[in-house]
């Protein structure tokens, strides 16, 4: 399990309200803004994503409440790296919420919970790439 984060995902009740807050209220520019998710680049190789609660819970495969609705995501280079990271987390005592499997977005991923229940996603995501200057590209795949 490498020591890095590429995604901060937060659950939202109403994507239109949240999109308005971040894109119009704060004036942020999305990297990708599609029907059911909005991504903002918030650092070198780092995305913040707004994800509707029910879609988020379906993706995790476990219930989420709005106020506990966040996860930290790590992108790895290959599918076996997802398996390896999850085995390491399991040995460390993590609760596996979703065993490694093909993901709805077209990649391969898994979720676990740390000792306090904070969620981590480890994903192989061929639609995600980072340029030398830290700029992220993300596209729909699959």
Element (H, E) at 123: strand 119-124
Q: Residue 142 CB, nearest distance to its own copies (Å)?
A: 26
Report DSSP state, residue 57.
Answer: H
- Find out whether 76 and 57 touch, Cβ atoms under 8 Å: no
* 63 contacts its own copies (rule: CB under 8 A): no
Element (H, E) at 118: none
Judged by CB under 8 A, the residue of 58, 78, 88, 140 near its own copies is 88
Judged by CB under 8 A, the residue of 58, 92, 104, 141 near its own copies is 92
* 6 contacts its own copies (rule: CB under 8 A): yes
Alpha carbon distance 44, 9 (integer Å): 16
State whether residue 141 is helix, strand or coil: coil
- Where do we find the tokens 């984060």? 5
Stretch binding its own copies (CB under 8 A), from 42-50, 55-63, 76-84, 95-103: 42-50
Binding stretches for its own copies (CB under 8 A): 1, 3-6, 8, 10-14, 17-18, 21-22, 24-29, 40-46, 48, 65-70, 72, 88-89, 91-94, 114-118, 134
């Amino acid at each position: 399990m490498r020591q890095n984060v590429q995604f901060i995902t937060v659950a939202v009740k109403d994507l239109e309200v949240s999109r308005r807050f971040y894109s119009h209220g704060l004036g942020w520019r999305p990297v990708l803004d599609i029907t059911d998710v909005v991504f903002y680049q918030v650092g070198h190789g780092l995305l913040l994503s707004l994800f509707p609660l029910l879609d988020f819970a379906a993706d995790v495969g476990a219930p989420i409440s709005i106020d506990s609705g966040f996860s930290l995501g790590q992108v790895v280079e290959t599918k076996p790296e997802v398996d390896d990271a999850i085995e390491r987390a399991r040995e460390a005592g993590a609760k596996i919420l979703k065993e490694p499997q093909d993901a709805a977005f077209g990649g391969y991923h898994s979720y676990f919970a740390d000792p306090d229940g904070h969620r981590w996603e480890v994903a192989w995501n061929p639609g995600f790439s980072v340029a030398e200057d830290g700029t992220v590209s993300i596209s729909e795949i699959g």
